[in-house]
Structure formats: structure tokens, C-alpha cells
Amino acid sequence: MPRPPPVQRLPEDRGLRYEGGWEGSETRGRGGSYTDLGRPRRGWVRDPLPSTKEAAFATVTLGMKKDRRTEFRVGLFVAVALLIGGTLAVVIGNQQNLFKRKIDLQTYFDQVDGLRPGSPVRMAGVEVGLVHRVDLGDDGRILVTFNVIADAAALVRNDSVASIGNKGLLGDKLLDISVGTGEAVAPGATLLSETPIGLGEYLTRAGDIITEVEAVAENVRRATEPLAEEQFANDLRETTHNLALITRMAANEDGALAHLLTDEENAGRIDRSLAHIETATAQFASSAQGARRIIAEVERGDGSAHEIIYGDQGTRLVTNLADATGEIATLLLDVREGDGMVHELVYEDAGGELMANLAAMSADMRAVVSDIREGRGTLGGFLVDPSIYEDVKRLVGNLQRNDILRALVRYSIRQDEAATATTVTPESPTPAE
């Protein structure tokens, strides 16, 4: 069964409303209720309008409710804003050390590489202050003024060093202060600084490294170029083939190499050779020990070697050698530039004549020796003819057996000895120096 249409109001008369129903339905109105069975019923019903006081009171009440809601919303917004602002102030203040006592310090740099006011100051990795000013001085150096909280200032000493570091990968800079061990600094003191290495210098070093790497790569390329040649591959294959042949020969029991490696007699020879080598090594060690003893004796002793090496005699010897060398050099200079006989022999024609004469004399001597060897002449006959040798031998024997001659020889010897004893006088002793 369809529902009855809703109550409608006319726009031009807000006091009217439309009511309707169906058969068997009960309709209630301001004048009562009734039921009309069997026929639908429709019609307009007028509502009574409110009075003027009721309308004014309703309007004031509605406005007060709206004002209270607005004030509540505004108050809630202000409270939330104050809470957020206070939280941010506390957080930022703790990060920037706004509520802590600070002291001012300064330092000088040749370059700062992006350090600016507001950059953090760190000590041992902990942020302890901020950069206050970055000024260019009259001498071309850069004056950096910064502050440090009082708690951390106690660790800043006169040997602390200020340096510029990187805050991150984006190029931000920070001022890093090292913890010193000397005396504490006063407010406004100037710290030592360490000039940072700039990007340009890093690039220069990188360029040098790249150049060296290129040189190394070129050397490697040159060293490995022969490995890529076909001849090297052929040589390697041939070497491998030869090694394979050698190993097969060693594996063959009838081969010479296998016999050399497995024969007991060869093993004995090798053992004896090793024993000889060991003996020679021991002898060499003994000789080295003796040489060490000799060197030690030369160092500690007072002999000629020690005097020559460590004493004044060595100095005098070197001086004499130097003088002798100088005299020889002077003599050679005189021979080369002078006009004496030696110069004539060496640099003039007289030398050629002398050599010719010597050659002629050598030829004559060769001829004389040849004649003597062949037995020509008295000397040749004396040396070659055996009969002359026998005659001379017999003559000498007869002279030795002759008593008169022997007595005469003894008398002559005694006379010579007596004459020598009378002529030789003893030398007078020389006074000591």
C-alpha cells in the first residue's frame, strides 16, 4: 500500500500546510482527528503564527548560542597555537643553545671555503656554538668570530686548533675546535688555525693521481703487449711441449734423465758433492772468522796497518801519494809542453828514430842469438860443442886440486878481510829526537 504524501508548505504562505490521506486512515489536526473511510481526503491547514515577543526571544537565544560556539573555537585555537609555539621555542632554544652563557673567540684563515655566519661550531663532534662573523682583514686573511658555550669553553686551550670541516654532502661547512691540553683561553682570545685544503687543490691532486694512473696503465699496456703477439704464444706452446717431453723422459725408466734421478751411484755423487760444498762453506766461514779477527786486531792493535788506517801515518801516506801524484802530473806536463829529450822521444821524430834503432838492435840480437844457437863463433862453440865443456870442466878441476893456487886464494881473502876491518870505523850514536 503506498504511503501518503508528506506535509507540504506553500512558499507564499508559510502558515499553510497540506494534509492528505487514504481511505481507512486517521488524520489528526489542531481541531481534532477523524477517519474518513472509503474516500481519500486532501486539504490545506493553516498553522497559527508565533507572537512578536516569542520571535525576539528566539532570535536573541539563537545569537547567544552562536557567539559562545565562536568564542570556544577561538579560545581552543589560541591555546593550541601557544602550546605549539612554546614547544618550538624550547626545542630550537636547546638546539641553538639560546639559554646558555657563551664566550666569544676568534681565529684567522687564509680561506674559508663557504664558512658563513650561522655555521655551527663543534668540538669533539658536539655542537657547542655558532659562527658570528666572517670578515676580510686588512692583511688579506679572513677573521672568523664565533661563540662557544661556557661549559665547553673550559676545554678550549691555548694549543687548541680551529679548522674548517664539512657538515654534509651538500657543501655546508662547520668550524671544528680541537680539545687542547694547555692553559685555558680568555674571552676574545685568538686560536690557532689550520688552513683547509680547498676544492681546487683536491682537483689538482686528483689530476696528478690520474696522470700517474695513466702512466701506470701505459706501462702495463707496454708490458703486456708482447703477451698478445703470436710469437709469444708459439714460444709458450713450444716451452710447454718441451716440459711435457722432459716429464715423459723422467717417467721413462730407460731414459737418461730417469737414470740420473734414480741411479744410486749418482745419488752418492750428489751426496759427496753436497758434503764438499758443506766443507767449503765451513772453510769459508772459518776464513771469514779469521778475517774478522784480523780486522778486530787492526782496529784495536798498534801495528802498521792500524797506524796507516787510524793514525797519522795514513794521513801522511795519503799526503805523500797526493804530492807524488802532483809531481807526476807536473812531470807529464813538462814532458808534453817542454822541449827536452823525453819530449823529443815521445812527441817528435827522435822517438821514431829511437824506435827504429831499437828495432834494428833487436834484429841484430836475434841474428847473434841464432848464430850462437847454431854453434857459430867462439861463444856458439863454447855453448854448443861438448868437448869445450869437458875441457873447461877438467881445467876447473885441476885448479881446485892445485895446492899453491888454493893457498894463494886463501891469502888473498885474508888480506881483503883485514883491509876492510881497518877502514871501517864505528858510527857515532845519533841523539834521540
Q: What are the boundaries of each domain within the chain?
A: 8-49, 97-203, 232-262
- Give strand ranges (E) for 259-304: none
249-300: pLDDT as tens digits: 767 666 666 666 677 777 778 888 888 898 888 888 888 888 888 888 777 7
Q: Cβ distance 28 to 7 under 8 Å? A: no
Res 210: pLDDT: 92
Res 203: pLDDT: 79
Q: How confident is the model over 80-97, as a mean pLDDT?
A: 71
Res 258: pLDDT: 66
Of residues 316 and 425, which shows the higher confidence score?
Answer: 316
pLDDT band at 236 (very low <50, low <70, confident <90, very high): confident
Of residues 30 and 412, which shows the higher confidence score?
Answer: 412
- In this predicted structure, which of 108-122, 179-193, 284-298, 412-426 has the lowest mean pLDDT? 412-426
197-223: pLDDT as tens digits: 766 677 788 888 998 999 899 888 888
Q: How confident is the model over 64-93, as a mean pLDDT?
A: 77
Of residues 187 and 99, which shows the higher confidence score?
Answer: 187
Q: Cα–Cα distance between 126 and 120 in angstroms, integer?
A: 10
Res 145: pLDDT: 92
Of residues 44 and 111, which shows the higher confidence score?
Answer: 111
Of residues 183 and 426, which shows the higher confidence score?
Answer: 183
Helix axes 377-384, 349-374, angle to 10 degrees: 50
Q: Cβ distance 146 to 175 under 8 Å? A: yes
Of residues 279 and 169, which shows the higher confidence score?
Answer: 279
DSSP assignment of 96-137 equals HTTTS-EEEEEEEES--TT--TT-EEEETTEEEEEEEEEEE-
pLDDT band at 126 (very low <50, low <70, confident <90, very high): confident
Of residues 277 and 370, which shows the higher confidence score?
Answer: 277
Whether the pLDDT of residue 224 is over 60: the answer is: yes
Grouping H, G, I as helix, E, B as strand and the rest as coil, residue 16 is strand
- In this predicted structure, which of 215-224, 253-262, 350-359, 422-431 has the lowest mean pLDDT? 422-431
Q: How confident is the model over 78-85, as a mean pLDDT?
A: 87
Q: Cα–Cα distance between 266 and 280 in angstroms, integer?
A: 21
Whether the pLDDT of residue 109 is over 80: the answer is: yes
- In this predicted structure, which of 80-89, 264-273, 366-375, 399-408 has the lowest mean pLDDT? 399-408
pTM of the entire predicted model:
0.32
| Phi and psi angles of residue 225, each rounded to the nearest 5 degrees, phi first | -60, -45
> Going by DSSP bridges, is the β-strand pair 102-109/26-29 parallel, antiparallel, or unpaired?
unpaired
Q: What share of the chain in percent tops pLDDT 90?
A: 2
Q: Cα–Cα distance between 392 and 409 in angstroms, integer?
A: 20
- In this predicted structure, which of 225-234, 277-286, 413-422 has the lowest mean pLDDT? 413-422
